[in-house]
Amino acid sequence: MGAITGVLPGGILLVIIMIAVLDGSDDTAQELRSLVAAGEKRHRLAVLFGCLAALAGALLSLAVADKLVSLYARGIVEVQPSIQFGAAVGIGAATWIVVASLTGLPLSTTTAVAGGLLGAAVFSGHARVHWDAILLRVVLPLVGTVMVSHFAGRLLRSRRSKGPQMRLPALFKRVEARPAHWVASWAKALARGLNDAPKIVALGTFGLVPNLVKLPYLLGAVGLALAVGGLVGGLWLTRHPGAELDSIGHGHAAQSKLYTAAITGAASVAGLPVSVRHLGDASMHGVKFAELALSWLAAPAAAACVAALVLALVTRLG
């Protein structure tokens, strides 16, 4: 068991980096799809801008990460940090993220990490689960922000449907729609890094990873992993565009992304988790309830089951 215990912290660190890479790959691909759908041809430049923005967001999260890290590290469950618990949570969350990435299922890092935490906590028997915090600081922000984004996008789409006489809002009257779309994409990617990096970093606190890497450096490493994943996913998409995309204008996409960036940024400062992918989809196309059900029910359930199994295994080996 001593050998396993010695290896696990490094393994947990690798799992954290892998989660960040897959998260960055998925989100950057989503950003690129909207730019391609709007007719943008400079795909590689768009990928590079998005990756740099996500890295910048992760680095900026150093100023506001405490609340989100604390929520996932101590606010959802209260347990003595251990290598075994950290491994269970990380592997549980990573399993769903890998499966979702390979199969094209909706990927939600927020719910996967929360599910891994709950599965390991319930199985351990000595962890205290703060169900009130889960409801007030995880479930309500997730649902509330998506619904706000949905209705904001619905208002935008209803205005567009009234015909060509409808003009862009005042914010865009003096700004070309195409540059605005680029700026909005950058803002959304930055806000994504601001919200996602602390959630991923929080996994390390359970596995005693801070004993190996201090949290500021871990945030930087996660930011780099988000950027690398974005480069890989984005460049792969430029070579394999995949399914046909719905036609969308630069102006509509820019407004939708600015809504998402504003909501995500505000939630990050408040220390609340959001699902950036679902915020963007809700604002641009409307809520997809089947996808939400899969992400918010199946993802945490699968992560919880895997986390419980992993904790049982490492406990038995001990």
Q: What is the pLDDT of residues 230-251, one digit of tens each?
A: 998 888 777 765 544 455 677 7
pLDDT score recorded for residue 207: 60
- CA–CA separation, 303 and 280 (whole Å): 24
Q: Scanning the structure block, which residue is given the tokens 């009234």?
A: 162
Question: What's the confidence (pLDDT) of residue 35?
Answer: 76
Q: pLDDT (tens digit, 9 = 90+) per residue, 82-139?
A: 788 888 999 999 999 988 888 877 778 889 999 999 999 999 888 889 999 999 999 9
Chain mean pLDDT for the chain: 82
Residue 8 has what pLDDT? 65
78 vs 8 pLDDT, higher one: 78
Q: What is the pLDDT of residue 244?
A: 45
pLDDT over 90 percentage in the chain: 31
The model's pLDDT over 254-264, given as tens digits with 9 standing for 90+, comes to 888 888 999 99
Q: How far apart are CA 279 and CA 143, in angstroms?
A: 10
pLDDT at 140 over 90: yes
**Cα–Cα separations (whole angstroms), residue 190 to 257, 271, 273, 313:** 11, 16, 15, 38
Comparing C-alpha atoms, which of 5, 39, 24 is closest to residue 189? 24
Q: Give the Å distances, CA to CA, from 6 to 16, 17, 64, 181.
A: 17, 19, 32, 48
Tell me how far CA of residue 247 lies from CA of 80, 178, 191, 244, in angstroms.
51, 15, 25, 9
**DSSP secondary structure of the chain:** -HHHHHHHHHHHHHHHHHHHHHHHHHHHHHHHHHHHHTT---HHHHHHHHHHHHHHHHHHGGGTHHHHHHIIIIISEE----HHHHHHHHHHHHHHHHHHHHHTPPP-HHHHHHHHHHHHHHHHSSPEE-HHHHIIIIIHHHHHHHHHHHHHHHHHHHHHTT-TTPPPPGGGTTS-HHHHHHHHHHHHHHHHHHHHHHHHHHHHHHTTGGGTS-HHHHHHHHHHHHHHHHHHHHHHHHH---S------HHHHHHHHHHHHHHHHHHHHHT----HHHHHHHHHH---HHHHHIIIIIHHHHHHHHHHHHHHHHHHH-
Query: How large is the average pLDDT for residues 58-78?
Result: 88
On the question of pLDDT at 267 being above 90, the answer is: yes
> Each residue of 144-178: pLDDT tens digit?
999 988 888 777 766 655 544 445 455 444 456 77
CA distance 231 to 220: 17
CA 308 to chain centre: 23
pLDDT on residue 209: 58
